[in-house]
Amino acid sequence: MTIASSDQSTAQGLVAAVTALRTAAENADGDAVADILAPDVVFHSPLSSRIRFEGADDVAALHRDVFAVLEGISTTEPLTRDDTAVFSFGGHVRGQKLDAMNMVRVNERGEIVESTIYARPLPALATLFAALPPRVTARRRGRAKGALVAALATPLGFAMRTADRFVPNFI
In this prediction, residue 65 carries a pLDDT of 98
3-state secondary structure of 147: helix
At the second CATH level, the architecture of 3-119 is Roll (3.10)
What pLDDT, on a 0 to 100 scale, did the predictor assign at position 18?
A: 97
Instruction: Give the pLDDT of residue 8.
Output: 74
**pLDDT at position 77, please?**
97
Residues 6+ apart with CB under 8 A from 3: none
Domain ranges of the chain: 3-119
Which pLDDT does position 6 carry in this prediction?
A: 55
Question: pLDDT tens, 142-161?
Answer: 999 999 999 999 999 999 99
Would you call the peptide bond into 155 cis, given omega within 30 degrees of 0 as the criterion? no
Q: What is the pLDDT of residue 37?
A: 98
Question: What is the amino acid identity at position 124?
Answer: A
pLDDT at site 11: 82
Low-confidence residues of the chain: pLDDT under 70: 1-6
Strands (E) in 60-137, as ranges, are 71-75, 79-81, 84-93, 96-106, 112-120
